[in-house]
Amino acid sequence: MMNIKNKSLLKTAVLAGAAAYLHLQNTWIQKTEYTIPVKNLAPENEGLKIVQISDLHLPKEKIDLNKLVSMTKEADPDFIFLTGDQIQGNDTFDPSVVEKLFRKLAAIAPTYAINGNHDRHSPMFQIALDLYKKTGIRYLDDEAISVLAKGRKPVVIMGLSDKSSAIQKITKDFLKKIRLRKDWQGQTRLLLAHRPEYFLKYHIDPEKSADITFAGHAHGGQIRIPRLGGLYAPGQGRMPQHTDGVYLLPTDPEKKLVVSRGLGGSSFPFRINNRPELIVVTLTNGSLSEIL
């Protein structure tokens, strides 16, 4: 029979192991790579690469920001997408830290950002907007631009501004305010939209329907159970449908949704079986079977 001393040592070991596990689950960045087929992708855009960074929740991040930058640089992307909640809504951040991060990202590749619900609620939101301008990050507020990476053909990048819950409930066409020029027709369309739960609503207008939508917000369901997925996500509730990975639009499987598990924490203090995630998406003319 185990004596009291051995029981105490075992208890200490279990607690230490649990603490180490929680630490790694909240600090150890996982790089997830997807190769996603795009219909009618221009041959020059074969292999075009995008790094998606989502839900940093600065200053509540527990990851090493320098490691995030080095992993992003190593991926050698054509574009970097910041898909919302870069900052925490109920906290203040050090502008010098955020400026340094933004400058480093913008130096790697053209970087585009949208807001999330936390950005919108932050008392420092205007400071964040000023930092985007100062560091060369393009902030997209219900707008679209046609951009050209070196050696590539143009693609359309659309950025959807996050709205209040009341406005979202009555909105049918989320992309109504976004304007696309006629001479952009035929270009691959990429959408930054913070909330994955409105995937269907992002495709109401076929003229603006994106080939790939990039979203976050769900935090991977916070606690992930193997084969079941995440347990809870804001906007989706219990057993959420869109928390991690690549999803196909039911009415048109050529249209995809990429959901990042995000990098930071928010109201819930821990990520369990749900490491912070950096996503790397490579575009190809390949078949759907590559991601199924």
pTM, two decimal places:
0.91
Domains and their CATH numbers in the chain: 4-290 (3.60.21.10)
Give backbone dihedrals phi and psi of 137, rounded to 5 degrees, phi first. Answer: -85, 135
- What does the alpha-carbon distance between residue 107 and residue 137 come to, in Å, rounded to a whole number? 10
pLDDT of residue 1: 52
- What does the alpha-carbon distance between residue 155 and residue 189 come to, in Å, rounded to a whole number? 6
Tokens of 165: 């819950």
pLDDT tens-digit profile, the chain (292 residues): 556 655 565 565 555 555 555 656 667 899 999 999 999 999 999 999 999 999 999 998 989 999 999 999 999 999 999 999 999 988 899 999 999 999 999 999 999 999 999 999 999 999 999 999 999 999 999 999 999 998 999 999 999 999 877 777 777 788 999 999 999 999 999 999 999 999 999 999 999 999 999 999 988 877 788 878 888 888 888 888 899 999 999 999 999 999 999 998 766 667 777 899 999 999 999 655 444 4
Contact 22, 15 (CB under 8 A): no
Contacts of 201 (CB under 8 A, 6+ apart): 171, 172, 173, 174
DSSP string for residues in 67-134? HHHHHHHHH--SEEEEES--B-TTS---HHHHHHHHHHHHHHS-EEEE--HHHHH-TTHHHHHHHHHH
- What does the alpha-carbon distance between residue 205 and residue 215 come to, in Å, rounded to a whole number? 19
> How large is the C-alpha radius of gyration of the chain?
20
- What does the alpha-carbon distance between residue 38 and residue 209 come to, in Å, rounded to a whole number? 13
Element (H, E) at 21: helix 4-27
pLDDT of residue 170: 72
Give backbone dihedrals phi and psi of 27, rounded to 5 degrees, phi first. Answer: -125, -20
- What does the alpha-carbon distance between residue 78 and residue 17 come to, in Å, rounded to a whole number? 40
pLDDT of residue 221: 78
